[in-house]
Amino acid sequence: MRKVIACLPIVVTACASTRSFSTSSPGGSSSDDLGHVTIPNVFKLKKADAVAALRRAGVQGDIEDDSSLCGSTFDGKIVELGEVCYQQPAAGQVQGARLVVSLRVQTEDPRHGDIGKNTEWRLMPSVTGKPYEQALAEMHHAGFENDDRIRRFMVDDASCKPGIVCRQYPDAMERAGLNDDKILYVGDNAPETKPVAAISPPTAAPTSEHQPTPTPAVATPTVPPPATTGEPKRWGGNGAPPYRDADNRVHGPGGPVFMGRGVPCTNKLDHCMRPGVWFAADNVIAGSLFRGVPVFQFENAWWTWRGDAAQQKRLFRTAVVDKPDQLQVGKPVVFFVDEGGERFLDNESDMLTSSRWSVGVVDAVSADSVHIQGWDKVALDTIRMIVEEKQQP
């Protein structure tokens, strides 16, 4: 008996690889074959445009809002209402396509804020290099109309041309309070005093052979009287700019710092802060405290009042709190820690260098105190509210 062997058809199936390959889309996707994307630069884009740019680049994860404030400028540019001022991750970084990206968007008028409050501010114009009268007119045009708050300092310096503003405080595009002093440093245009030539009076005819010959009269040079300084200021400084001394050590604005015993540095004395003082901190996290360090800007860097370079990256411009409704739950503040019942120190130097300044997040607000997350109740008069925030490069 013969066996019949059936021949079955062989079907060859092409199997698709489970590995996916991405190609750049017409919209400009920068994703790779491993599911990573290169984050594009969305600085100063409107939020909707920024989100669209991120999606085109291949971002598939959530795009979250960063609720922190932008301040008025970033990297020398004014951030207009609705524009992105900060992104995380930064432009050019590579991350998974499904990971989160956060955007911080400008929610304030960058040129004018705190309207109707004691802390009302406007953005400083650039008046350096302009004649004083023109600079004053531009200050008025920018909204600084109270001449009592615009101080002119005459500078006898070769770098300052007579009658020309050679420096300004605050700097251009910095926020300046309407009730704070603004300083214009102007080259001294007083004519140089020239020595007066000595004139010999005519010699009188001698009346006797023993009469001495008159001594020629020499003009006495005019010496200005010494400046009257009065009692040194105990807080707030004298308006002088920061400088380096002969030993190359950096000193803060306002001249010598008062180190003697004085009255307590309460909120009525602005906690003995000076114009130009900001606070620096490593971070802001709800439930944690970070040390706040009083700092000032000089030579495009930030310095502590001990003359050291500030290492902390987050910077806060602050103002005293007048009433509880100026504070918001969930927002950071700077406050002075009560130590053994001592709410304040009694001299300017200690307040500018104290380690008792802290940065925390508001948990609850009452009529005379604030509860800080992860800490305790803090007296209202020890708190400084944050009116502007930015980061060191």
Residues 274, 363 share a domain:
yes
Q: What per-residue confidence (pLDDT) applies to 381? A: 93
| CATH for 155 | 3.30.10.20
Residues 359, 308 share a domain:
yes
Residues 370, 308 share a domain:
yes
Residues 74, 163 share a domain:
no
Look at residue 17 and tell me if it is in a domain. no
Q: What per-residue confidence (pLDDT) applies to 34? A: 63
Q: What per-residue confidence (pLDDT) applies to 193? A: 46
Look at residue 28 and tell me if it is in a domain. no
Q: Which domain holds residue 154?
A: 115-187
Tokens of 321: 């709190």
Residues 167, 71 share a domain:
no
Question: Count of domains in the chain?
Answer: 3
Look at residue 240 and tell me if it is in a domain. no
Residues 368, 256 share a domain:
yes
Tokens of 273: 């802060």
Residues 372, 308 share a domain:
yes
Q: Select from 83, 105, 127 the last residue of a domain.
A: 105
Residues 126, 86 share a domain:
no
pLDDT tens digit at each of 393 positions of the chain: 444 444 444 444 444 333 333 333 334 555 555 689 999 999 999 999 999 999 999 999 999 998 888 889 887 889 999 999 999 999 999 999 999 999 999 999 999 988 988 778 899 999 999 999 999 999 999 999 998 889 888 877 777 899 999 988 888 888 888 888 788 889 886 544 444 444 444 444 444 444 544 444 433 333 333 333 444 467 888 878 898 888 889 999 988 888 887 889 999 889 999 988 999 999 999 999 999 999 999 988 999 999 999 999 999 999 999 889 889 999 999 999 988 778 899 889 999 999 999 999 999 999 889 999 999 899 999 999 998 888 887
Q: What per-residue confidence (pLDDT) applies to 157? A: 75
Residues 148, 93 share a domain:
no
Residues 47, 135 share a domain:
no
Look at residue 225 and tell me if it is in a domain. no
Residues 44, 143 share a domain:
no
Look at residue 24 and tell me if it is in a domain. no
Residues 274, 178 share a domain:
no
